[in-house]
Amino acid sequence: MLTSEDNRRLTQVGPGTPLGKFFRRYWIPAAVLEEIGEPGGAPVRVGLLGERLVAFRDPEGKPGLMKEHCPHRGASLAYGRNEVGGLRCLYHGWKMGQAGKILEMPAEPPDTRMKAVLTHPAYPVQEAGGILWTYMGPADKMPPFPRFPWMDLPADQLLVVKMHQDSNYLQGLEGDLDPAHPNYLHRDFDEAVARQSWTGAGWQSISDLMSDGAPVIQVEETPQLMRVGAIRKTADAGMSYVRTTEWVAPFYTHIATGPHESQLFKAWLPIDDNSCFTFYIHHDARKKLDVPAIYGNWGHRSEPPHYRTAHTAQNMHLQDRKMMVDGNFSGVIGAAIQDRAVQESMGPVFDRTQEHLGTSDKAVIFFRRLILRKLQEMEEGKELPGTAPGLDFRQRAASVYMPAGAPWQEAVRWIEAQEAGLKDPLPKQEATSV
């Protein structure tokens, strides 16, 4: 159970809030590149950490991200003219450059000093992996760009999906921190439904974990942020089913998948205190993705400009009560929609003083305490997780059978051995040299 004050510290993301300052110390997604695909095209509104911004690509192809409202009289630059080097406001012709410099004030005298003293809030951007990334923090605190390996995959091996959620980001993020919920929320009863769901999407690992709905949960801090392990009993007392997830600050997670399965990276991006976007990055370094199967399983297909699906709290996320009898546990189709249904059902920002947490919430509790500590360390000027130069971002999550009693942190070694056709992992020194 959190205090009201700590609940606010973990959910409020606007400028000047502790968590808002923390998030602004990282490179984060601002938009998907399809939104600004056309050079010289219409600017796109972007809600990010409580700020109203516009993203655009100028006629020469250079992307930009700046505050939506003109510094002169507040007209929206989403209506503005997209010109080489920046956006021009329709109201009086002021032109704002990509770096925030006010380039022209045609209605003012030529010798006005306003251009020299005024700037417009604008943020640096980078393009990678089908996403426009931005850094919104102090320039002297900018960390290295996190070069995740999936960013360099061919287009047919990478699928970036963006989905709107009507709740605070933390309600979504804590769902990924919960290793026990798939046994219930994502359980299929009917074989035909299962074929359209996890196994149909090539994720046999989800079916494998259904044998034990009360895993032993382990958590540890890492240089990137934290790691979670869920150890499940199997029919063979000598074997465990181990599922690990890797967390990277500020709100990224590598979701566990099994041998030869496509992988999933997620980002929980706060729009404001009451809503967020989930970025699902499906990727496979070995083969093309089965995109129809992924959409069929997750149910998260969405389109610009709003990136919403038809499922809302008002229509009960299209829940089918008859399906709950012999189809699936939730009566909701699509794993992403199942997650969103329960998270949006909590309201925009859940009052965590009303919770009653148990052992299955071990990772959630660890995360909250860790972030609260990191907020304090940020105020003390200490280095933040995931920002050290030269830090390795080649993490992988794992879902794999391995000997009972073996260190759960070695799950990735076991999954890589199985993918290589080996019975056991190579000794660490040999594995390093391979």
49-107 pLDDT tens trace: 999 999 999 999 999 999 999 999 999 999 999 999 999 999 999 999 999 999 999 99
Q: What average pLDDT does this structure show over 145-150?
A: 96
Which amino acid does the sequence have at 89?
C
pLDDT at 200: 67
Q: What average pLDDT does this structure show over 404-413?
A: 96
User: Would you state the structure tokens that stand for residue 229, as one six-digit string?
Assistant: 């392990």
pLDDT at 427: 81
pLDDT class for 429, splitting at 50, 70, 90? low
Q: Which domains does the chain have, with CATH numbers?
A: 27-141 (2.102.10.10), 149-427 (3.90.380.10)
What percent of the chain stands above pLDDT 90? 90
Phi and psi at residue 316, in whole multiples of 5°? Answer: 55, 30
Q: Record the pTM.
A: 0.94
On whether the CB atoms of residues 212 and 240 are closer than 8 A, the answer is no
Rounded alpha-carbon distances, angstroms, from residue 9 to 6, 165, 273, 365, 405: 5, 20, 11, 15, 38
Rounded alpha-carbon distances, angstroms, from residue 193 to 169, 249, 284, 297, 329: 30, 36, 24, 10, 11
Instruction: Give the N- to C-terminal CA distance of the chain in Å, as an integer.
Output: 47
pLDDT at 432: 35
Q: What average pLDDT does this structure show over 190-201?
A: 70
pLDDT per position as a tens digit, 204-259: 888 888 989 999 999 999 999 999 999 999 999 999 999 999 999 999 999 999 99
> Does the pLDDT value for residue 168 go beyond 90?
yes
What is the rounded average pLDDT for all residues in the chain? Answer: 95
pLDDT at 195: 65
pLDDT per position as a tens digit, 313-352: 999 999 999 999 989 999 999 999 999 999 999 999 999 9
Measure the CA–CA gap between 27 and 15, rounded to whole angstroms. 16
pLDDT class for 433, splitting at 50, 70, 90? very low
> Does the pLDDT value for residue 309 go beyond 90?
yes
